[in-house]
A = this chain, B = another copy of it.
Amino acid sequence: MKVGIIGLGLIGGSMAIDLKKRGFASQVLGYDNNKLHAQTALNLGIVDNVLDFENMIEQSELVILAIPADVTLKLLPKVLNNIENQVVTDVCSIKGNINERIKYHQKRGNYVAAHPMAGTEHTGPWAAQAGLFDGKAVILCDCEDSSEEALKTTRKLYEYLNMRPVYMGSVNHDIHAAYVSHISHISSFALALTVLEKEKNEKNIFNLASGGFDSTVRLAKSSAEMWAPIFEQNADNVLTVLDTYINKLQDFKEAIIKNNNGTVTKLIEEANKIKKVIS
């Protein structure tokens, strides 16, 4: 199958590598409005060819949008305008607003809303890697609005990427994503800002960072280009979770002010229950 990928960064590039290597794609065609990314993906052998937007869509049987949420919102209707029988899918971390935008498009059936839950804090085709998706979950949303053919192709795509499909409505997806992904990023960005403001001597941070700081702050390296639109598009859910999160921090603050070791212990032991869920 000829696969066209719009956006040759971490996600698009990693998909290209495995889909080609594992025989799902006979050819991978790429498009990226960032010329450096496009040329790099070609040089690294991540894609077989780089084409312009219209030609890439015309020559592909499956088109994957692997671009930030705000650009997906703008570009997805354009892609659907340009297809005949092609299957189209995306990888966005928000789903509700995208669904709204194309719900009544005459080619809606050709599109499958997908969110592969994998990634790293790095960006660009340089960050693309084989095996990125293996064993992780992919959320497929509003499948009742997709044609059987489009669904079959998309499911097969994720089978080749070794991903476990989970089915959810897009509204539900956005709530869950706010809780288990979006808030983690805000938490990490804020942590980096806190430390950077106070620790003018960077050597101190570096020396002391093995005390747990490195793992909680890893996500703070994630790009604004990807994350600012996610917080914007999922604002209601993100704000609800952010309020809950700030309340929990206030609980800690009050207990520490009152020197209440018992309450702090209770809070920590309650938090420890996450062990049951995350190994």
Question: Which residues of A does B touch, CB under 8 Å?
Answer: 93, 117-119, 136-137, 139, 164, 166, 176-177, 179-181, 183-199, 202, 204-224, 227-229, 231-232, 235, 238-239, 241-246, 248-253, 256-257, 259, 261, 264-265, 267-278
Contact = CB atoms under 8 A, between A and B. Distances in A.
Listed from nearest, the 9 A-B pairs whose CB atoms lie closest are: A181-B211, A224-B268, A190-B248, A192-B271, A192-B274, A189-B271, A180-B208, A184-B216, A180-B213
Contact of A242 (B139, B253, B265): B253
B209 A278 contact: yes
A152 to B, nearest CB: 22
Nearest to A178: B198
B213 A215 contact: no
A270 to B, nearest CB: 6
Interface SS, A side: helix
Contacts of A176: 199, 204, 208
A208 B168 CA distance: 12
A208 B117 contact: yes
Contacts of A273: 192, 196
B264 A224 contact: yes
A15 B269 CA distance: 27
A242 B238 contact: no
B261 A186 contact: no
A217 B256 contact: no
A228 B265 CA distance: 6
A266 to B, nearest CB: 8
A191 B256 contact: no
Contacts of A208: 117, 137, 139, 166, 176-177, 179-181
A268 B182 CA distance: 13
A275 B195 CA distance: 13
A219 B181 CA distance: 16
A278 B184 contact: no
A224 B190 contact: no
Given A228-B265, A256-B231, A184 B191 contact: yes
Contacts of A119: 211-212
B252 A186 contact: yes
